[in-house]
A and B are shown apart, each in its own frame.
Chain A
């Protein structure tokens, strides 16, 4: 593209320094926050007051901090679920479906063991809780694994498969918890049965133990990608599948593996959302909201550029923002959906920042002779 005496070109960046990666992430988030000011135009407060309401609730009230942490754990599991396949160049947008599968599997354990009443637990509570975690991870992993297997064996588009599974699982949850479904609650108001209190996730100072799982997984994942041969293979496959294949990396095993692992994390997110957050402890009627929320995980993995530890502060921030936005909605009488709008804005600024991440924009002065109109006349030497 030429602008006056200068030409504008996009040159691919050969390598991106970590500082530059952090910078693009910070700019993308700040830009989305700045753009979200139009959401606050109709608020009962000035712009500064609106932002203060969002942040003050999420990060500076005891209630808000706990809620932010609980949601951050959920978002982190969702982040890993998207991040692991992304490192292999694959898109797992099946987060909602895998979350629902995890939730259904977790609740299937007490349902099958007939442990819905506290009075008659057939096994020690700790054993049942353990079974629930394992079942949730396995169910999420299987659902993800299906998409991974189809991708690996037949090159079936994983975006379409995971999206179809999202819709299937969404309706399956409705079937299970509504209109006399097997998991319907005693009140029959279109929600699942409430978990007896011994089977809920143990809390330490209000924080469920899943926090430790989420943080531990971040460290393990970063070690996996940075230090192990398997991690190297996944990254190589993600960057250039054809070259990886010539390098002896199996094009079948890897897509399956990353989807199994990613799906298992989403299953854990489902376990966490419905059995570890005080006040929930069941599959609620508005379970679809948790599916929508999982896309914040997708964005934090994208913005963190595949770094699991890097995603931790981003997930905490997004958890606080989405909660604070909901709170501000009530406090400042904003229209519904500020948290959804923020999700959209973040995605937009991420895509924009991606251009600057991939390419260096260079201005070159066009040499004077190139600017001269070229004579088409043959004479006049």
Chain B
């Protein structure tokens, strides 16, 4: 049972890293629906690098780097060029989906490196996730940079008038979001499930994106949500541990996705929105034009 829980928490860090980065860039007003693509590309880059160099550290570095670069690309299109953020995000996702299938195919199979040591079966990334959540919360709600980030996402014109460079803040956050998405992908392919397969994520990125909406843009709630989904995900992979022989394993695989939809519906009801919906960054998804 502990094994299952430990593995669930390992799974939850994949959701957590990606969603935490997305939370920060959404707080600054930039929506990146291509999260899954950034995770795919980061994870694939990490896997290929680790396998060719034999170094997990270099692998992680490559994952972070690629994630950051793709985040920057999203910034270039959606901030400087003032393009539609959905077009750019979807573009990044399909670009990554297509290119990683081609680039990674020769590496299909297990990583073949020593597993990252775990503490009592618990992945060290869980601890890292906890630290990152605490740091992000502190940054967003207790520092002047955090105030600048939140104001860039709420009312960029007012932020600009008070001397904050909205462009710089948004670039910073969208790149940070990309780096964390890369970390998420890399911890999937190097630690959680070190076997490369085409489109290995199969929806993890989109679930992470949904988690950001569930979290009401609060890192602590995000962490709780990610843990819950990690457990649910792991149960859907091995339902026989809890309910042996009930329903086909394929039906269990649909459960995390099937639960996401009603949660999305609940948080979208007027009742929920008027009560708790104020956290949504007011300028989310809207390009900012200075002057």
Give residues in A with beta carbon < 8 Å to B.
Answer: 10, 39, 91, 93, 150, 154-157, 159-161, 163-168, 170-172, 174-175, 178-179, 181, 292, 295, 298-299, 302, 335-338, 340-345, 347-348, 350-351, 354-355, 358-359
Contact = CB atoms under 8 A, between A and B. Distances in A.
Contact of A160 (B88, B101, B210, B250): B210
Interface in B189-203: 198-199, 202-203
B134 interface: no
Given A10-B81, A168-B254, A344-B94, A155 B99 contact: no
A341 B248 contact: no
15 contacts: A150-B261, A156-B265, A160-B209, A163-B206, A164-B206, A168-B258, A172-B251, A172-B254, A178-B250, A335-B105, A336-B105, A340-B101, A345-B95, A347-B91, A351-B88
B257 A168 contact: yes
A347 B198 CA distance: 18
B106 A335 contact: yes
B203 A341 contact: no
Contact of B91 (A39, A336, A351): A351
B168 interface: no
Given A150-B261, A161-B264, A340-B99, 17 more contacts: A154-B265, A156-B265, A160-B264, A163-B206, A164-B206, A171-B250, A181-B248, A298-B94, A341-B103, A344-B96, A345-B95, A345-B99, A347-B90, A348-B95, A351-B91, A355-B83, A359-B81
Interface string B226-247: 0000000000000000000000
Nearest to B248: A175
A160 B206 contact: yes
A301 B203 CA distance: 23
B87 A345 contact: no
Contacts of A298: 94
A10 B83 CA distance: 11
B77 A351 contact: yes
A206 B87 CA distance: 38
B257 A159 contact: no
Of A167, A174, A178, A348, which is in contact with the most chain B CB atoms at under 10 Å from its CB? A167
A346 to B, nearest CB: 8
Given A160-B206, A171-B253, A344 B95 contact: yes
Given A157-B264, A345-B95, A163 B203 contact: yes
If over half of A's interface residues share one DSSP class (helix, strand or loop), that class is named, otherwise mixed; here it is: helix
B115 interface: no
Contacts of A165: 257, 261
Of B90, B103, B253, B260, which is in contact with the most chain A CB atoms at under 10 Å from its CB? B90
A160 B214 CA distance: 12
B81 A167 contact: no
Contacts of A10: 81-82
Contacts of A348: 91, 95
B112 interface: no
Contact of B33 (A159, A344, A351): A159
If over half of B's interface residues share one DSSP class (helix, strand or loop), that class is named, otherwise mixed; here it is: helix
Contacts of B101: 336-337, 340-341
B259 to A, nearest CB: 9
Shortest 10 CB-CB contacts between residues of A and residues of B: A344-B98, A341-B102, A337-B102, A175-B250, A351-B91, A340-B101, A154-B268, A343-B98, A347-B94, A171-B253
Of A171, A295, A299, A335, which is in contact with the most chain B CB atoms at under 10 Å from its CB? A171
Contacts of A163: 203, 206
Nearest to A348: B95
Contact of A171 (B83, B213, B251, B260): B251
B81 A355 contact: yes
Contacts of B99: 340-341, 344-345
B97 interface: yes
Nearest to A181: B248
A167 B251 contact: no
A299 B261 CA distance: 26
B144 interface: no
Given A336-B102, A340-B101, A344-B96, A167 B90 contact: no
Given A175-B248, A359-B81, A338 B102 contact: yes
A342 B205 CA distance: 22
Contacts of B210: 160, 164
Contact of B257 (A150, A154, A164, A178): A164
Contact of B86 (A159, A174, A342): A159
B105 to A, nearest CB: 4
Contacts of B98: 337, 340-345, 347
B202 A167 contact: yes
A170 B206 CA distance: 15
Contact of B105 (A181, A337, A355, A359): A337
A324 to B, nearest CB: 15
Contacts of A295: 94, 97
A338 B264 CA distance: 36
A91 B209 CA distance: 16
A299 B198 contact: no
A350 B87 CA distance: 9
B269 interface: yes
A169 to B, nearest CB: 8
Contacts of B253: 167, 171, 174
Contacts of A350: 91
A178 B206 CA distance: 26
Contacts of B261: 150, 161, 164-165
A164 B255 CA distance: 10
Of A93, A295, A335, A347, which is in contact with the most chain B CB atoms at under 10 Å from its CB? A347
